Amino acid sequence: MYQTIPTSAPPTPLLDQACNPSELRKLSTQQLPELAEQLRAFLLYCVGQTGGHFGGGLGVVELTIALHYLLDTPNDHLIWDVGHQSYPHKILTGRKSAMLSMRQLNGLHPFPDRNESNYDDFGTGHSSTSISAALGMSVADHLNNLNHHSVAVIGDGALSAGLAFEALNHASHVNANLLVILNDNEMSISENEGGLAKYLANKLKPKDVSEANTALFEALAFDYTGPLDGNDFNTLLPALQKALNSDGPQFLHITTVKGKGFYPAESDPVGYHAITKIEPLNKQQMNVAKAVTKRKTFANIFGHWMCEQAATNNKLVAITPAMKEGSDLVEFAKRFPERFFDVAIAEQHALTFAAGLACADIKPVVAIYSTFLQRGYDQYIHDIAVQNLPVIIAIDRAGLVGQDGATHAGCYDIAALRCIPNTIIMTPSDEQELWLALNTAQSINSPIAIRYPRGFGACQSIENNTAICELGKGKVLRSGKSKMALLNFGPLLPQALENAQRFDLTLVDMRFVKPLDEALLDELAQDHNHFFTLEDHAITAGAGSAVGQYLADRPVTFTHLGIPDALIAHGTREEQLEICGLDTQGIARSIQAKLS
């Protein structure tokens, strides 16, 4: 049991012999426990160097070894739901020497990626897709007269999503040769919520648990086995072998320990779901780090605002789809438990649930990452916007998010939402503007979306006030002598300000994408002949596109600065901004090109 993360590479002689599946299968079953110990040690060392997800990976070391030992990968299909737990899989499939590049620009992807390895059968990042994908591969093999196994490994948290049950239902209908492995560690990112989680985690005797779960999953025509110890090879290997040798839909329920082998992670699986890399700091760096930790992120401001408002407004409620910690609603949940709703990984339900609350004179706030809002798009349109219900959508992690890569980038929410009637979209440029936007949202009796990025903005501190801004009105920050105006939407304002001063541009913090400040645009179009629009969002159908549409019949030209029509690979947020030309220098080059 490790108490600390190794800071130097541990010796891994057995792992070095078995870091691809064909070599792994040459080992005896008696060697597998030692292999697991070396793999766990190496995983701890790697994540300490690069940061990333590792609690789930530590828990499935034995399962990963057992699956590659018994399956004929990559011919057989192995799908890891979400992919948080896929680092051991990467190490055992020829990528051990590249693990220190994880999450870095041009390095290994933080999730399974079909372009990275032929052992990654399906790209993941979001939850609950594995059973559908594995079922598709099973049916495809049948149609192609191939006899390969299809295995989906899904956690108990991901199993709460409706998509997983849709796939289970369909698998029984087609009688597919499919093995679903439930990796039950009683956790997702946060602690699991809901009836299914309680059902799976009940405290009955093992025999009673097995009988109860058999009834649940065999009602869906799956052959159920379990629950059994997924960290014990003596139990795991024969159960897996039996399931793989059986026809029709199979369901293997294993229990694992999230963070197994690392005492702090076993004791605090929420806090150690993922970590940042461990770096030795000198005294000056430590002082800088301490100063940064005293600042509040956008999410911190949101969480603080929620608590402040709930103290005086007993109709304000918070809803999150399994992102209590990430959305900074922990304090709200403690202070107002009767008004906090973690609906588990169920984004569709989160939005329609909010709609129901709004119908009954409650003010719901849905805290959701931009990338996960995509999963509830129909519910936003059909259940919220069409009925013009006063639901606040707090869109966290909007824009480029850094090391989690393309699956988690929040690049499409403006494009998705601005075409929908009865929708207001705000893009606060810093933490104080976020506070102002939230105040404004609470005063509006219609759907409103407020998008803000991960991490810190430009504010060093904020004022907790009750001010609101006028609906659809931007703010002129400087008037330039050139005939060019820079319209900023969101947190790239510091880069915008530096360039506006350098090139003597008029600078506007637009605040709203919808409704646009049309009166201000009309005024600017009278004495400006070129508009730069700046957003941390896809250029296609983004905020700049809205400006261009409105001014299409005016004698003005445009340069839209934003995320290009491409998937931006993982790296630091600063590297991603540079790739997109959204850093200070990149913006300057775009402006200079118009001056040449």
Is 388 in contact with 446 (CB distance < 8 Å)? yes
Residue 337 is given by DSSP the state G
- Asked if the peptide bond before residue 390 counts as cis, ω within 30 degrees of 0, the response is no
- Strands of 316-320's sheet in order across: 340-342, 316-320, 363-369, 392-396, 448-451, 424-426, 512-514
Active site residue 523: no
H or E element: which one contains 52?
Answer: strand 52-53
**Catalytic residue selected from 266, 347, 433, 575:** 347
Type of residue found at 71: L
How far is 544 from 489, CA to CA, in rounded Å? 9
User: In 3D, which of 225, 216, 215, 213 has the Cα closest to residue 250?
Assistant: 225
Kindly give the pairing relationship between strand 530-538 and strand 557-563. Answer: parallel
Active site residue 331: no
**Catalytic residue selected from 375, 418, 511, 514:** 375
Active site residue 375: yes
Residue 542 is given by DSSP the state S
Kindly give the pairing relationship between strand 250-255 and strand 223-229. Answer: parallel
Is 395 in contact with 372 (CB distance < 8 Å)? no
Give the number of other Cβ atoms within 10 Å of residue 575's Cβ. 19
Q: What is the DSSP string of 82-110?
A: SSTT-HHHHIIIIIGGGGGGTTSTTS--S
Strand partners, 153: 80, 181
**Catalytic residue selected from 258, 260, 296, 511:** 258
How far is 290 from 313, CA to CA, in rounded Å? 34
The set of long-range contacts for 411-414, using a CB threshold of 8 Å and a minimum separation of 24, is: 411/370, 411/537, 411/538, 411/563, 411/568, 412/370, 412/374, 412/537, 412/538, 413/370, 413/373, 413/374, 413/449, 413/451, 413/537, 414/451, 414/489, 414/513, 414/535, 414/537, 414/538, 414/541, 414/542, 414/543
Residues with catalytic function: 258, 347, 375
